[in-house]
Amino acid sequence: MKREMVERPYKEVVDVLKRCGLRPTRQRMALAKLLRDAGDCHLTAEELHARAADAGHRISLATIYNALHQFTEAGLVREIVVDSGCSYFDTNVSDHHHFFFEDRRELKDIDHGDVVISAVPEPPEGATVERVDVVIRVRSS
Amino acid sequence: MKREMVERPYKEVVDVLKRCGLRPTRQRMALAKLLRDAGDCHLTAEELHARAADAGHRISLATIYNALHQFTEAGLVREIVVDSGCSYFDTNVSDHHHFFFEDRRELKDIDHGDVVISAVPEPPEGATVERVDVVIRVRSS
DNA sequence: TCAATAGTTTAGAATAATTCTAAACCACTT
DNA sequence: AAGTGGTTTAGAATTATTCTAAACTATTGA
Ligand SMILES: [Mn+2]
Ligand SMILES: [Mn+2]
Ligand SMILES: [Zn+2]
Ligand SMILES: [Zn+2]
């Protein structure tokens, strides 16, 4: 019973990982749980690494990168490129756009529906639209 | 007269540079001219470096980066971040958006007006909108 | 015309994010 | 319990970019 209270929260992430065809290893379970419990946010690999460390998990950066890419592939997180120099991983995988605070280098979600794109051009022949990213770059002033 | 035919094209870029408060050095003139003559396109620092070399200019990469940042500051080019790992510099500084071909890692302009954003949210208090970037990510398939 | 000055260029080292390597490790099957 | 094949890891490698400090040059005004 003591054991169960601690272990239960893992059940879900284990299932998610299995559904994605990823072995539920110690590291992937820890990371998947951290990401799920983090709520909607935008993390760099380094930040996730730090959070894992804070939670008592000693996971190599290589593994963090591996997991983030696998999770991206599986649709558990979404990679956002706004800053030449580092990638952000978004735990909110629903369709939404972003403010980017250039001075703080931070992303903030824009509620779906607050940006309306009323005309999107056809992609060129043989190309298929993967995603439409809208980033509103702002500076404090 | 022989001389003039070769030199005249530089007159404009010299003026542009002066207007921007940048000394018209040999390197900056060469780069400004290359960029102006390139037509609308999206270049990486390396690509511009290669074009300079092709045109017979031996300019260090550090200078390419310096110039591109100064030109960006001055509004002569626009920096676009779509690809974690490298920046693109757009010689088309008019208001427009982009397709990004993820496999080729190439940008393509979308005519102004082909993307209509009919609702843009207010930025948070104290933040001022710098720019709205729309990137339509496509893959060939 | 010629310094003096301040801005510019440069090679090469340094940095930072990310990827690679190859050996140790461990999840899952049998 | 052993075999297997995927996984993790430390550390080296890679890549784009920035930094450093010395050499260079555009500009100015004597
Ligand atoms: Mn970062
Ligand atoms: Mn590149
Ligand atoms: Zn988001
Ligand atoms: Zn463009």
The DSSP secondary structure of B24-85, one letter per residue, reads --HHHHHHHHHHHHT-S-EE-HHHHHHHHHHTT----HHHHHHHHHHHHHHTSSEEEEEETT
Using a pLDDT cut of 90, give the percent of chain B over it: 83
The DSSP secondary structure of chain A, one letter per residue, reads -HHHHHHHHHHHHHHHHHHTT----HHHHHHHHHHHHT-S-EE-HHHHHHHHHHTT----HHHHHHHHHHHHHHTSSEEEEEETTEEEEES--SS-EEEEETTTTEEEEE-TTSSEEEE-PPPPTTEEEEEEEEEEEEEE-
Structural domains counted in chain B: 1
CATH number of the domain residue A114 falls in: 1.10.10.10
**Per-residue pLDDT tens for B7-63?**
457 889 999 999 999 999 999 999 999 999 999 999 999 999 999 999 999 999 999
Task: Please give the distance, rounded to the nearest whole angstrom, from the Cα atom of residue B92 to the centre of ligand 4.
Answer: 5
Residue A83's CB is within 10 A of a number of other CB atoms, namely 16
**Per-residue pLDDT tens for A54-83?**
999 999 999 999 999 999 999 999 999 999
**Given this model, what pLDDT does residue A76 score?**
98
B30 near B55, Cβ under 8 Å? yes
Residue A95, domain extent: 3-138
Residue A17 pLDDT > 60: yes
Which chain B residues are closer than 8 Å to A124 by Cβ?
99, 108, 138
Tell me the ligand closest to B47's alpha carbon. 2
Give the one of A86, A115, A127 whose C-beta lies nearest to B117's C-beta.
Answer: A115
Residue A8 CA, nucleotide D25 C1', distance (Å): 71
**Given this model, what pLDDT does residue A140 score?**
87
